[in-house]
Amino acid sequence: MAATASDDTVNLTDFHKTPGIYVDKSQLAPVILTKRNRRFAAVVSADYLERAEAALRAIHGNRRVYTEGTFPDDFAARLEASLPTEAELADDRWERERVDTAA
């Protein structure tokens, strides 16, 4: 997750000296641990972790990976139908249409 303005940042050495302070702070907002002035790790509350995991499951939970042997026939037919015809490729219509829709 990206750091926000409310994130507390502490170097790893200071965290090792007084971890309890930063664990307590992590109940309010993530605490970013740095090592050699670079982000290294984060301490977050259990609630924050559960919500982050739930959000990731919601975003990525419906993804499927298909191989040549498991690709559904109806998906293959839709993919074939979306490809440009030889005439579209020859007339360069496919490229122009794709560029126009991206704008």
Say what the pLDDT of residue 40 is. Answer: 94
SS3 state of residue 60:
helix
What is the rounded CA–CA span in Å between residue 49 and residue 51?
5
pLDDT of 10 over the 70 cut: yes
Domain ranges within the chain, ordered by starting residue: 8-47+64-92
Task: Locate 54 and state its tokens.
Answer: 């739930």
Task: Locate 14 and state its tokens.
Answer: 């200071």
Residues 22-81 pLDDT 10s: 999 999 999 999 999 999 999 999 999 999 999 988 888 777 778 878 888 888 788 888
* Whole-prediction pTM: 0.54
CATH classification for the domain delimited by 8-47+64-92, as one of 3.40.1620, 1.10.530, 2.60.200, 3.30.950: 3.40.1620
